[in-house]
């Protein structure tokens, strides 16, 4: 018997006019968003292939101490599935995961999800995609949608001796909760958002905690504050008020952070001034402040939101190590100054391969060309949602999406609505296959590069935003421009059959 939502491949049977079969890869935030949009629009023949045994994506995989979102909770939710019950202004990770699990059930999506079904290969045969999973199963789809996310493939540093350590060692995205931490010597490698959150949570628990910093990061002091039971009840009983709260936070995000990153103005200078002033006030010790002062401009790297980190690193039982790591030894970390830093536990808060996208899944399009071949010089797509040479293929949170200055849920909703418009045209019999032209894609990418110099990401820093050519793989305009660009398909930009 087939799992719910999955039908077998029927050799030689064409797509029924108006009824495209859709396969979504990934049941994280974006995959659930797309699935919900399909159900709302009356598309029933779709399946979501998920490699894990639960929905949630990065919020399922990451369970480290101190985990929370850096987007205001009342804006970090599906617009069609509001959650008045957020307990804090920046929601803890476990609470976000519970929201996605609950939403997948309440929206009727779980019967369409095939768990433990990792797609290893997908190939266009001229009419549809043939899908192959890691467990040897097959499926097919007239339309393939990649919702694989960007922060899913953990990146562990290539440090000599990394396998010789005698204690527990793990990546932050694979947290081992069986390892006791209280009173233990814990070493955290990495000072991005994850390293900052872990340090803030474990300060006073580990004894001592050593944080190994390669490059300091700018911190915006936004505290994690609880919402009262009364405010949660008010929003639950007044949906219009909850909607107003959502729109208010959206306006703040778009008018301040959305503009600060992509164009000079009071928003950028204001955020920068707050970051610099906070560092001076929160770290009175000049030597420590020098260690924590970044060499680049605020927001050149992803801005870190925390009011707990600077107080944590000022503690006597927290040691900020700025010497380079030479190697890992059985008892700890040896730095380039010759010092051995003993440790019982090593935590690699070293981020993810943000340029993996679908990989290691292998996708083949027209003429047998693979996505790896198409992206040999770096990920490149059409308006963040499609790729030339790959018919009926869409990406959610794909290359050059506005991930540097906005909520990923809002981005996914904009992209899912765009995909839905094409699917509705297919259902109406106006098209059976569509693929963006190379010319339209080239025009879009040229515009991207032309606008990039005005962004803060090109002001001189080395970040995971940068592609192999040193150019940020980001959206250089405001989120509103992204919505406007994807408001309606432009048929002239596509080859339609």
83 within a domain of the structure (yes/no): no
- Number of structural domains, the chain? 2
Q: What is the pTM of this model?
A: 0.94
216 and 289 belong to one structural domain? yes
In the predicted structure, residue 10 carries a pLDDT above the cut 50: no
What is the mean pLDDT of the segment spanning 380-392? 97
339 and 362 belong to one structural domain? no
C-alpha R_g of the chain:
23
- Beta-carbon contacts of 1 under 8 Å, excluding residues fewer than 6 positions away, are none
72 within a domain of the structure (yes/no): no
In the predicted structure, residue 225 carries a pLDDT above the cut 90: yes
Task: Return the CATH number at 208.
Answer: 3.50.50.60
Which residue range(s) make up the domain with 365? 22-55+109-153+353-496
147 and 211 belong to one structural domain? no
Cβ–Cβ < 8 Å for 291, 182: no
Determine the pLDDT at residue 38.
98
In the chain, % of residues over pLDDT 70: 96
Q: What is the pLDDT of residues 161-197, one digit of tens each?
A: 999 999 999 999 999 999 999 999 999 999 999 999 9
Determine the pLDDT at residue 356.
72
79 within a domain of the structure (yes/no): no
360 and 430 belong to one structural domain? yes
What is the mean pLDDT of the segment spanning 412-438? 97
Cβ–Cβ < 8 Å for 259, 402: no
Rounded Cα gap, residues 191 and 188, in angstroms: 8
Which of 369-383 are b and which e, b meaning 16 or more Cβ less than 10 Å from the residue's Cβ? ebbeebbeeebbbbb
Determine the pLDDT at residue 18.
65
In the predicted structure, residue 276 carries a pLDDT above the cut 90: yes
Q: What is the pLDDT of residues 80-99, one digit of tens each?
A: 999 999 999 999 999 999 99
In the chain, % of residues over pLDDT 90: 88
Structure tokens at 430: 């106006």
Q: Would you put residue 450 in left (φ > 0), alpha (ψ -120 to 50) or beta?
A: alpha
Measured CA angle at 111 (ends 108, 113), to 5 deg: 105
**Alpha helices by DSSP H, 79-119:** 93-106
Q: What is the pLDDT of residues 39-76, one digit of tens each?
A: 999 999 999 999 999 999 999 999 999 999 999 999 99
286 and 181 belong to one structural domain? yes
Cβ–Cβ < 8 Å for 216, 294: yes
Of 348, 373, 394, the position where a domain reaches its end is 348
Confidence of residue 3 (pLDDT cuts 50, 70, 90): very low
407 and 488 belong to one structural domain? yes
Confidence of residue 151 (pLDDT cuts 50, 70, 90): confident
308 and 388 belong to one structural domain? no
What is the mean pLDDT of the segment spanning 244-264? 95
Q: What is the pLDDT of residues 192-208, one digit of tens each?
A: 999 999 999 999 999 99
């Amino acid at each position: 018997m087939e799992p719910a939502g999955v039908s077998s491949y029927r050799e030689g049977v064409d797509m029924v006019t108006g009824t495209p079969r859709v396969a979504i890869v990934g049941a994280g935030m974006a995959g659930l968003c797309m699935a919900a949009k399909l159900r709302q629009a009356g598309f029933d023949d779709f399946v979501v292939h998920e490699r894990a045994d639960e929905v949630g994506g990065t919020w399922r995989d990451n369970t480290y101490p101190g985990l929370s979102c850096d987007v205001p909770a009342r804006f970090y939710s599906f617009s069609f599935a509001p959650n008045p019950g957020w307990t804090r202004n920046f929601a803890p990770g476990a609470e976000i995961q519970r929201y996605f699990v609950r939403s997948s059930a309440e929206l009727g999506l779980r019967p369409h999800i095939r768990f433990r079904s990792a797609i290893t290969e997908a190939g266009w045969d001229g009419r549809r995609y043939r899908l192959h999973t890691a467990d040897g199963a097959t499926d097919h789809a007239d339309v393939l949608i990649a919702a694989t996310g960007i922060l899913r493939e953990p990146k562990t540093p290539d440090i000599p001796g990394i396998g010789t350590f005698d204690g527990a060692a793990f990546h932050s995205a694979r947290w081992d909760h069986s390892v006791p931490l209280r009173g233990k010597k814990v070493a955290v490698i990495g000072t991005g958002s994850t390293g900052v959150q872990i340090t803030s949570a474990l300060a006073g628990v580990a004894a001592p905690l050593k944080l190994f910093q390669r490059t300091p990061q700018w911190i915006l002091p936004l505290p994690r504050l609880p919402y009262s039971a009364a405010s949660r009840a008010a929003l639950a009983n007044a949906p219009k008020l909850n909607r107003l709260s959502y729109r208010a936070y959206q306006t703040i995000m778009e008018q301040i952070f959305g503009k600060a990153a992509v164009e000079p103005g009071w928003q950028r200078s204001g955020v920068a001034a707050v970051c610099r002033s906070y560092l001076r006030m929160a770290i009175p010790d000049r030597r420590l402040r020098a260690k924590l002062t970044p060499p680049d401009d605020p927001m050149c790297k992803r801005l870190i939101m925390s009011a707990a980190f600077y107080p944590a690193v000022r503690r006597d039982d927290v040691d900020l190590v700025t010497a380079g790591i030479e190697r890992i030894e059985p008892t700890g970390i040896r730095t380039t100054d010759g010092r051995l830093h003993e440790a019982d536990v090593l935590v690699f808060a070293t981020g993810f391969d943000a340029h993996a996208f679908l990989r290691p899944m292998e996708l083949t399009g027209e003429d047998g060309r693979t996505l790896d071949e198409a992206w040999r010089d770096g990920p490149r797509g059409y308006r963040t949602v499609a790729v030339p040479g790959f018919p009926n293929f869409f990406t959610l949170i794909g290359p050059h999406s506005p991930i540097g200055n906005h909520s990923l849920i809002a981005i996914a909703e904009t992209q899912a609505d765009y995909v839905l418009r094409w699917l509705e045209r297919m259902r109406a019999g106006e098209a059976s296959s569509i693929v963006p032209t190379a010319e339209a894609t080239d025009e879009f990418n040229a515009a991207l590069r032309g606008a990039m110099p005005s962004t803060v990401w090109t002001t001189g820093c080395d970040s995971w935003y940068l592609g192999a050519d040193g150019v940020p793989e980001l959206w250089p305009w405001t989120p509103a421009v992204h919505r406007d660009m994807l408001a309606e398909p432009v048929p002239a930009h596509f080859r339609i059959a």
